[in-house]
Chains A and B, each alone.
Chain A
Amino acid sequence: MLSRTHFIYISACVAAFSPSCLLSFSVAAMQVTEAFKHAFLKQMLLGFQASAVSTNSMGIQERKNAIKLSADVAMAVFRGSRKWTRGLIAGLSEKQQNRSFLQLILGEQYERRLMKPCYSSWKIPRCRTIVRRSLRVCCRRQKKKKNQSGVLARTLVEKRTQQLKRLVPGGESMDGLSLLDETLDYVLSLRAQVDLMQSLLTTVESSKLRSHSKRTLTERKASYVGK
């Protein structure tokens, strides 16, 4: 839980912020480290600031989208260069309106990442003949030993894998092995993101409550005095 002083400290540091800090995860504890969380939060606040220019005129939906966008970008930037982060940024840049924001946040990194193959919309190029040939080989091998239950299990797993590929950003062009890798990473980052946003929310709300209570008190006093 962030204290108010902590918040102010963070805001002071936002200007001197550098996106290329080292991160460390710890899966043993199944939690991200504090350093990562701090850095993530910094980046998120920066993102909020950048997108908050027009919050006055935004409806709640746009605000929500802007917040979510900056949170996601913060998460992606912080995790560094992973397949899912690239996929995420690629997915986000597909929408025209996000591009300026992304450019602002990422700076020159954005152009560089755009130059890289866009994973989300990039299918592994496969020659048809080769695929057919390999399928034939596989079928021939399977004919020798047909395992009915295995086939069923395999189709179930296949379905799930497809679903997971759709969930994880940039997942379509990953093979099963790296998919699991990226899922692991992605789950950790998501968890960190949720925790951070939660604590941010509670901090903001509690500070608001405090301010409201103060104001109520003064108003009540004023009303008493008035009476």
Chain B
Amino acid sequence: MGPARCSGVGSGNSGAYTTEIAESLRFEEEIHSIVHPSLDSSPAAGGSFTALLGLPANQAVELLHETGPSEAPGSAAAPSPTGELWRLRLGEHAAGPLHLPLGCSPTFPSNAALVERAARFSVFAAEDSPALSSGGGPSPRLKAEPLDSDSPPLLPIPTEKTQRPAKRKECEKSKAKGPAKKSKSAEENTAAAAKETAAENTDGEKLPYVHVRARRGQATDSHSLAERARREKINARMKLLQELVPGCSKITGTALVLDEIINHVQSLQRQVEFLSMRLAAVNPRIDFGGLDSFLSAECGPLATANGRGGVALDPALWSSHPVTANGARWLPQPQIRHVDVWPTQQSSTAWTRDGPAHPHALLNPGASLVGYDPASSVLLNSNQLKTEL
């Protein structure tokens, strides 16, 4: 099986980096971002960090970062074959550091562990990249660290990490040349190793050809590799969306999940419409600049439209007020502002649906609301409105 060359999805550079160096590059960057919070931590750094942790949740964090999503997060999510465990366990405290807006120094939970790991893996980086030499304290220390090829025992994080060191093992041998020998590849778990390489190297680092090991029994031409990378990315994002949309995690199949997503988006949009309608109804004269003026505005227009009767448009307003004979005096007044609603709005049909609940509501504007049951109608009303819209 010859070496599969993937010219790095998105990276078009040629150089002499190996995959290991690429990863150590990222480690360096992360450490720099910790040590020098003033540096503009590129999304690549964060993206690769998430890649290392293999947490799709964090990938989305990077995805949504202000500086603009690069391909890194999406691709970083691709190599999460058995990431479920890690997502759950490390989700919380990995989400923590990446919460912060750029510019703040992220507080990595396992800083020491990271640095140690970086030390192990960045030996090659030190000797190679000039970009790395801009590092601070860590880099000389990293240089001094002995190269430990048997990295699995060092790694606290299993699954993905074991694959990477195994890959590094093979890259050690080749030293910036082609991929390792076939024997090595046979031993190691090649499940997602190749994909990780291909995927991770899409952050805007200067990387040359990425030497990808294809999976067992799969084609190795560049088209299908790119296809596979694309599909992996799409699957990762679908997974994220599944988590986001409630009730979607049990569904299998892209079409059904997309259905759910579409329904969710539509319902959210409808909710926005509904809420804006309610806001419009509640306070026609509200001056959002300040509540004081808002309160005074309430009392202001009442004198102008005293003659008209009105009906409570929004039962929520009156929910805590029992309608009594005394109360009826002030009830018509606040209702007045809603009067102009009736002739103009076309959504009055929505209100007609509530006919049975509000027998007096629409037909007799001047009628009293004595027979009005606020509590039940609130619920009924809002439900009906929701379905209407």
Give the contact stretch, choosing among A116-124, A125-133, A181-189. A181-189
Does the CB pair B241–A183 fall under 8 Å?
A: yes
B371 within 8 A of A: no
What is the interface of chain B mostly: helix, strand, loop, or mixed?
A: helix
Are B99 and A30 neighbours in the complex by a CB distance under 8 Å? Answer: no
A60 touches B280 (CB 8 A): yes
Q: A27-B61, A28-B92 are in contact. Are A164 and B261 (CB under 8 A)?
A: yes
Given A68-B273, A183-B241, A190-B268, A160 and B326 touching (CB < 8 A)?
Answer: no
Partner of B288, one of A30, A52, A65: A52
B125 to chain A, nearest CB (A): 29
Q: Does B157 contact A (CB under 8 A)?
A: no
Interface presence of A101 (CB below 8 A): no
Minimum CB–CB distance from B106 to chain A (whole Å) comes to: 11
Q: How many residues of A contact B (CB 8 A)?
A: 76
Number of interface residues of B (CB under 8 A): 85
Contact of A209 among B101, B259, B317 (CB under 8 A): B317
29-66 of chain B: CB within 8 A of chain A: 55, 57-58, 60-61, 63-66
Q: Are A219 and B254 in contact (CB under 8 A)?
A: no
Which chain B residue shows the least CB distance to A66? Answer: B280
How near does chain A come to B346, taking the closest CB pair, in angstroms? 7
Interface assignment of B103: CB less than 8 Å from any CB of chain A: yes
What is the CB-to-nearest-CB distance from B322 to chain A, in angstroms, rounded to a whole number? Answer: 11
**Residues B269 and A167 in contact, CB atoms below 8 Å apart:** yes
Chain A residues lying within 8 Å of B278, measured Cβ to Cβ, are: 201
Complex Cα distance, B58 from A24, in Å, reads 12
Evaluate whether A164 and B262 lie within 8 angstroms (CB atoms) in the complex, with A8-B290, A28-B95, A184-B244 already known. Answer: yes
Q: Which of B270-325 contact A (CB under 8 A)?
A: 271-273, 275-292, 294-295, 298-299, 314, 316-317, 320-321
**A61 partner, pick from B58, B243, B346, beta carbons under 8 A:** B346
B279 touches A191 (CB 8 A): no
A124 CA to B287 CA, complexed, in Å: 44
Return the chain B residue nearest A209 by Cβ. Answer: B320
B residues with a Cβ closer than 8 A to A are 55, 57-58, 60-61, 63-66, 68-69, 74, 91-92, 94-95, 98-103, 230, 233-234, 237-238, 240-241, 243-245, 253-255, 258-259, 261-262, 264-266, 268-269, 271-273, 275-292, 294-295, 298-299, 314, 316-317, 320-321, 326-327, 329-330, 334, 340-341, 344-347
